[in-house]
């Protein structure tokens, strides 16, 4: 093809971007998957399950599995910092160590990961990890024949979108021999209505203009509007800033008292999920007057017509196409073995004529399309996109109808990974859609809220309800099952009280924002101390009581940063519970180790000793016996 260098340059950018995005977003998960295969995580759990099948309770099995997972997680953290020699020897054989060294040989000996973590560095410098990503795929294939697509390839036969600019339009479509000093308005005026509404400038200053670039597959067209000319690469003169604001979605706990009081009576609590994409309830909702709204995945599927289009594609598919796709499915395009990939290419070449005859029928005249059971695939794709855009606006409209225009949305900060055969969940995307519609939105931290009671001593909740097994095929063997959705606290008191501390009234200790930090070998939390009858509580007593609450030794507990609220009666600070004393000595700052008697206080220098001596000289007579406080 003549003058095809411009098309090739755009496609090269697409390929490189696909490779780098694959490393950036998948490298972390694939490394974890690889070490799960290497450490035989699933086999260990399966063997343990078979051993405990006859004897042992469900709680014992869960505790043992948790121990296995924690041990493997520690190994992954050690590997992430490239500390191969410091890994526990009992988990790996000599062959396993050779495999791990082979993976890290992809990097130069003097290469250092950003922030000492391979997981962070793969996002900061994805180019440096392409070779390791390839080796990771080949190792996974060699271990358990589980390759992944480290080099993404287009496998579909339906024409995809491509970029077209003024040069491509002039040389490939208009077939003009003039390739320099092109007038964009003249060239694009031959194929587009440049005076139409869609082509008009946009933005606050009308600076976003059509600069001669479109994105099309022959049916749908997306026009690129820019703030600057493509060749000039100048700074933007208007429009939205490129940087994402750090406080795009504020958390409720960060709001001030005035902002919280201003939102009383307007809050709508939203719980995102898989079935109910949005489960909304107003704060004033009661049993007699329910104020709720649900937006389900089934409702979304009906609005976007995704099921209808899927059934059309499956029901009208020809037999020869089904046979061709079935034969092609026996070969893995994700393999990195050259012989297997050659077999895949050979099979793909054999089925290509049948696939093209079916999927490229849109390019033929309308009379030919009506002769067989062919579908306008690109038109279906465009319709799906339009339906999705319309469906995104419906929840905002319904929320305004149900809760009013001044509603404040409190959304649970919940994310979940993708699951096989299920559509991915839109978390941040759904929030941004509602934010664009003008809603005030805040996040609510949902970490372990379904299994913890914040005012409880040990925080853990237990299952207590026994019901008939909801799975009929298991009722003969297991007639009774636990109700997992109903939990209760196994303690009566909602908080930990210290009675008669310093001969004063009771003091209550409450912990929140509990977090397990495996990297620093500790548990960390925020501590609220309520002491209405005392000016304050000593840190030594707090260490002892927190150690008792969490069944730990006092020596591994560290407390710091306590501030008394205005008016007294309540103090808030931080507490750390280390796994052992060695971890505390390793990660705690020296001044706190001195406070706990685990390190020697620094000795004063010569100048300090001299100044102290001179201060003592000022005392005369009886006062000479008084000493300056030791520093």
How are beta strands 292-296 and 557-564 bridged, if at all? unpaired
SS3 sequence of 129-193 = HHHHHHHHHHHHHHHHCCCCCCCCCCCCCCCCCEEEEHHHHHHHHCCCCCCCCCCHHHHHHCCCC
Is the pTM higher than 0.75? The answer reads no
- With vertex at residue 486, the alpha carbon angle to CA 485 and CA 487, rounded to the nearest 5 degrees, is 115
Q: Which two tokens stand for residue 244?
A: 């994402």
Query: How do residues 45-88 score in pLDDT, each as one tens digit?
Result: 888 877 776 666 667 777 888 888 888 887 888 788 777 776 76
Q: Which residue has the tokens 């220098």?
A: 605
Q: Residue by residue, what is the 3-state secondary structure of 340-355?
A: HHHHHHHHHHHHHHHH
In-domain check, residue 460: no
Tokens describing residue 558:
């560290």
- Do residues 388 and 428 share a domain? yes
Residues 6+ apart with CB under 8 A from 352: 157
The strand pairing partners of 528, in sequence order, are: 510, 572
How many residues are present in the chain? 631
At 499 the pLDDT is 38
- Residue 626 confidence (pLDDT): 54
CA atoms within 13 A on the CB side of 61: 15
- Closest by CA to 206, choosing from 240, 243, 242, 239, is 239
Q: Are residues 205 and 221 in the same domain?
A: yes
pLDDT digits 0-9 by tens, 573-591? 999 999 999 999 989 999 9
- Report residue 112: phi and psi, to 5°: -120, 130
Contact 225, 211 (CB under 8 A): yes
pLDDT value of position 70: 82
Q: How many CB atoms lie within 10 A of CB 332?
A: 17
Q: Do both 611 and 547 map to the same domain?
A: no
Domain stop point among 347, 374, 401: 374
Residue 478 confidence (pLDDT) above 70: yes
Backbone torsions φ then ψ of 333, nearest 5 degrees = -75, -15
Number of domains, the chain: 6
* Structure-block tokens of residue 90: 């009992």
d(C-alpha 296, C-alpha 400), whole Å? 17
322 phi/psi in degrees, rounded to 5: -60, -45
- 139-148, 321-330, 574-583: least confident range: 139-148
| 211 located within any domain | yes
Give the Cα separation of 52 and 503 in Å (integer): 52
Does residue 314 or residue 630 have the better pLDDT? 314
Domain assignment of residue 112, yes or no:
yes
- d(CA 511, CA 572) in angstroms, rounded, equals 10
Measured from the Cβ of residue 171, the count of other Cβ atoms closer than 10 Å reads: 20
Please check whether residues 298 and 434 belong to one and the same domain.
Answer: yes
Asked if residues 126 and 132 have their Cβ atoms less than 8 Å apart, the reply is no
The reply to whether 207 and 269 lie within a common domain is no
The residues, ordered by sequence, that sit 6+ positions from 420 with a Cβ below 8 Å of its Cβ are none
Residue 508's H or E segment, with its range, is strand 507-517
pLDDT of residue 475: 87
Which residues on neighbouring strands pair with residue 487, listed in sequence order?
A: 463
Q: Which residues contact 28 (CB under 8 A, 6 or more apart)?
A: 119, 122
pLDDT for the residue 629: 46
**Structure confidence at residue 133 (pLDDT):** 92
Q: Are 83 and 21 members of one domain?
A: yes
Residue 132 to residue 149: CA distance in whole angstroms: 14
- As a whole number of angstroms, the distance between CA 83 and CA 88 comes to 11
Q: Are residues 500 and 615 in the same domain?
A: no
Token readout for 581 is 């004393």
3-state secondary structure of 339: helix
The answer to whether residue 39 is domain-embedded is: yes
Residue 429 phi, psi (nearest 5): -60, -40
Give the DSSP letter of residue 1. Answer: -
Q: Is residue 408 part of a domain?
A: yes
How many CB atoms sit inside 10 A of residue 114's CB? 13
Q: Would you call 159 exposed, middle or buried from its count of C-beta atoms within 10 A (0-12, 13-18, 19+)? A: middle
pLDDT of residue 612: 80
Average pLDDT over the chain reads 82
Q: Look at residue 22 and tell me if it is in a domain.
A: yes
Host H or E run for residue 63: helix 58-80
Instruction: Report yes or no on 399 lying in a domain.
Output: yes
Between residues 394 and 3, which one has the greater pLDDT?
Answer: 394
Q: Does 50 share its domain with 97? A: yes
What mean pLDDT do residues 590-619 have?
A: 83
Q: Are residues 38 and 140 in the same domain?
A: yes
For residue 244, the tally of other CB atoms under 10 A from its CB is 6
- What angle is formed at CA 168 by the lines to CA 167 and CA 173, rounded to 5 degrees? 120
| pLDDT band with cut points at 50, 70 and 90 for residue 251 | confident
Whether residue 388 is found in the same domain as residue 365: no
Burial tier of 70 (Cβ tally within 10 Å: 0-12, 13-18, 19+): exposed
The answer on pLDDT for 498 being more than 90 is no
Among residues 115, 144, 173, the one where a domain terminates is 144
DSSP label of 280: E
Strand, coil or helix: what is 525? strand
Q: What percent of the chain has pLDDT over 70?
A: 85
Residues 437 and 524 in one domain: no
Pairing of strands 440-445, 408-413: parallel
Burial class (CB in 10 A: 0-12, 13-18, 19+), 13: exposed
Q: Band of the pLDDT at 501, cuts 50, 70, 90?
A: very low
**Judgement on whether residues 76 and 26 belong to the same structural domain of the protein:** yes
CATH (domain of 579): 3.30.70.3370
Give domain status of residue 490, yes or no: no
Question: Which CA distances in Å does 273 have to 214, 291, 339, 429, 441?
Answer: 37, 19, 44, 14, 18
How far is Cα 103 from Cα 122, in angstroms, rounded to an integer?
14
State the residue range of the domain holding 545.
Answer: 496-595
Q: How confident is the model at residue 514 (pLDDT cuts 50, 70, 90)?
A: confident
Averaged over 343-366, what is the pLDDT? Answer: 84
């Amino acid at each position: 093809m003549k003058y095809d260098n411009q098309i090739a340059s755009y496609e090269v950018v697409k390929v490189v971007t696909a490779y780098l995005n694959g490393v950036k977003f998948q490298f972390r998960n694939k490394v974890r998957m690889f070490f799960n295969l290497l450490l035989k995580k699933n086999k260990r759990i399966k063997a343990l399950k078979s051993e405990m099948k006859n004897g042992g309770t469900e709680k014992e099995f869960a505790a043992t599995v948790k121990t296995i997972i924690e041990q493997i997680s520690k190994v992954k953290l050690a590997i992430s910092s490239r500390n191969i020699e410091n890994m526990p020897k009992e988990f790996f054989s000599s062959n396993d160590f050779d495999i791990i060294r082979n993976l890290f040989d992809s990097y130069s000996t003097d290469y250092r990961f950003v922030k000492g973590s391979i997981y962070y560095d793969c996002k900061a410098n994805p180019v440096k990890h392409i070779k390791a990503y390839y080796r990771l795929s080949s190792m996974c294939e060699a271990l358990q024949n589980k390759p992944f697509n480290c080099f993404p390839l287009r496998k579909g036969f339906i024409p995809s979108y491509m970029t077209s600019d003024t040069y491509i339009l002039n040389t490939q479509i208009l077939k003009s021999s003039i390739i320099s000093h092109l007038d964009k308005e003249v060239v694009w005026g031959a194929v587009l209505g440049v005076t139409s509404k869609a082509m008009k400038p946009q933005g606050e200053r009308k600076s976003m203009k059509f600069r001669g670039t479109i994105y099309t597959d022959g049916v749908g067209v997306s026009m690129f509007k820019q703030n600057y000319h493509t060749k000039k690469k100048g700074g933007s003169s208007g429009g939205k800033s490129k940087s994402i604001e750090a406080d795009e979605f504020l958390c409720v706990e960060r709001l001030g008292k005035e902002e919280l009081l201003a939102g009383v009576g307007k809050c709508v609590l939203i719980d995102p999920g898989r079935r109910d994409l949005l489960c909304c309830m107003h704060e004033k909702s009661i049993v007699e007057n329910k104020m709720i709204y649900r937006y389900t995945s089934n409702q979304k599927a009906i609005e976007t017509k995704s099921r209808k289009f899927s059934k059309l594609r499956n029901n009208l598919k020809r037999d020869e196409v089904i046979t061709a796709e079935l034969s092609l499915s026996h070969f893995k395009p994700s393999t990195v073995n050259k012989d297997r990939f050659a077999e895949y290419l050979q099979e793909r070449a054999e089925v290509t004529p049948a696939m093209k005859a079916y999927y490229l029928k849109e390019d033929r005249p309308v009379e030919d399309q009506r002769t067989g059971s062919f579908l306008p695939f690109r038109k279906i794709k465009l319709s799906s996109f339009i339906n999705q855009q319309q469906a995104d606006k419906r929840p905002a409209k319904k929320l305004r109808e149900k809760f009013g225009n001044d509603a404040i949305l409190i959304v649970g900060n919940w994310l979940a990974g993708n699951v096989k055969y299920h559509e991915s969940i839109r978390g941040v995307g759904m929030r941004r859609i509602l934010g664009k519609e003008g809603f005030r939105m805040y996040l609510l931290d949902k970490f372990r809220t379904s299994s913890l009671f914040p005012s409880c001593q040990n925080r853990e909740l237990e299952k207590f309800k026994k019901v008939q097994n909801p799975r009929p095929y298991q009722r003969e063997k297991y007639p009774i099952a636990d109700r997992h959705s109903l939990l209760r606290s196994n303690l009566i008191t909602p908080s930990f009280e210290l009675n008669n501390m310093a001969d004063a009234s009771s003091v209550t200790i409450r912990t929140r924002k509990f977090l397990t930090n495996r990297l620093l070998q500790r548990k960390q939390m925020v501590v609220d101390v309520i002491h209405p009858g005392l000016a304050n509580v000593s840190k030594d007593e707090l260490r002892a009581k927190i150690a008792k609450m969490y069944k730990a030794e006092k020596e591994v507990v560290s407390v710091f940063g306590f501030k008394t609220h205005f008016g007294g009666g309540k103090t808030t600070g931080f507490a750390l519970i280390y796994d052992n004393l060695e971890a505390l000595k390793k990660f705690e700052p020296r001044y706190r180790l001195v406070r706990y008697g685990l390190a020697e206080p620094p000795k004063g220098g010569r100048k300090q000793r001299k100044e102290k001596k001179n201060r003592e000289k000022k005392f005369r007579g009886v006062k000479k016996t008084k000493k300056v406080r030791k520093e």
